[in-house]
Structure 1
Amino acid sequence: MLNRVILIGRLTKDPELRYTPAGVAVTQFTIAVDRPFSSQGGEREADFIPVVTWRQLAETCANYLRKGRLTAVEGRIQVRNYDNNEGKRVYVTEVIADNVRFLESNRDSGGSRDDGGSYGGSAPSSNNQPSRGGNNNSGYSRGPAADPFSDDGKPIDISDDDLPF
């Protein structure tokens, strides 16, 4: 059996961070995902998908995601139910995310917060450890001097035999 979903959309409002009585962080937000077709009036339609994140991922999302930000979410669909105050059963369908990627910087989306680039534009993956700079090789520093493709303005000498086409 498989329950896996990948969504790309924009946040409809800022994430809401809360803590369980046991002190576990949980964040809820909704993303608007465009449908691949237009309505009869020619307008684009979207689905509004509720997303829940837990623990370190929840805190990271609360700190760095903002309304309107383009985001990729990977997780599983969960359906839960409860009885409301009127005694009626209410069903809730939501995505429990274990991987969230920030697909644009705050500067691209017009956000007022400065991320400082500490997470390289992405939230932690399923191991809940932040991806700092986008590279998981420990001890590897990415800086201008570490660029292996830097040519210092000189032409690159490549033989036709080295080209794959």
Structure 2
Amino acid sequence: MKNLVILAGNVGAEPETRTTGSGANITSFTLATSRPKRDSEGKILKDDDGRTVEDTEWHRITCFNGVAKTVADYVAKGQKVMVQGRLHYTQWTDKDEIKRYGVEILADDVTFLSKGKGTGRAGATEDDIPY
């Protein structure tokens, strides 16, 4: 069996990068995915202006090493990306001794679906940007 996740959405905030004591790069960001909201009969809901009402879900994405560097260099808030990776569940006890749980996507690949930061660099061409 394989733990595989594929998500396409919009980056919610500027990626945050850190380096471990052993020198590994880690970059994290949030990704918003949306789908149409439906009523009890399965019909897509519309607002007063006739636009589709959407349910948005937020996902925590974590990248390592080369993928982490590329994301840190080229991904920006609002950019459309596709993430391929796997689910990773965590459990910890907070300072108040309450057991907490979390889930994140450990990204193996991030594909750019729109241009992000770095595309406006002096001397840069589209061939310089890893799509």
- TM-score normalised per structure 1: 0.65
User: Any stretches of 5+ residues in structure 1 without a counterpart?
Assistant: 122-165
Letter of the aligned partner of 1:7 in structure 2?
A: L
What CA RMSD, in Å, does the superposition of the two structures yield over aligned residues? 1.8
1:113 to partner: Cα distance: 5.4
Which of 87, 92, 112 in structure 2 is aligned with 1:77?
87
1:119 to partner: Cα distance: 3.2
Structure-2 separation of matches of 1:62 and 1:89 = 32
8 Å Cα contact 2:74/2:118 also seen in 1:
no
1:47 to partner: Cα distance: 0.6
1:112 to partner: Cα distance: 7.6
Which of 87, 90, 93 in structure 1 is aligned with 2:103?
93
Which of 57, 69, 84 in structure 2 is aligned with 1:59?
69
Name the counterpart of 2:42. none
8 Å Cα contact 1:82/1:91 also seen in 2:
yes
1:44 to partner: Cα distance: 1.1
Q: Does 1:104 align with 2:119?
A: no
1:70 to partner: Cα distance: 0.2
Structure-1 separation of matches of 2:22 and 2:97 = 28
Name the counterpart of 2:30. 30
8 Å Cα contact 1:4/1:76 also seen in 2:
yes
Structure-2 separation of matches of 1:64 and 1:95 = 19
Structure-2 separation of matches of 1:88 and 1:39 = 36
Task: State the identity %.
Answer: 28
Name the counterpart of 2:10. 10
User: Any stretches of 5+ residues in structure 2 without a counterpart?
Assistant: 40-44, 47-52
Q: Name which structure has the greater RCO, CA cutoff 8 Å, separation 6+.
A: 2
Query: C-alpha deviations, 1:47-106, integer Å up to 9, x for none?
Result: 101100001110110110000000000000010111111111111101000000011123
Tell me the matched-pair count: 116
| Greater strand fraction, Structure 1 or Structure 2 | 2
Name the stretch that deviates more: 3-12 or 39-48.
39-48
Name the counterpart of 2:120. 114
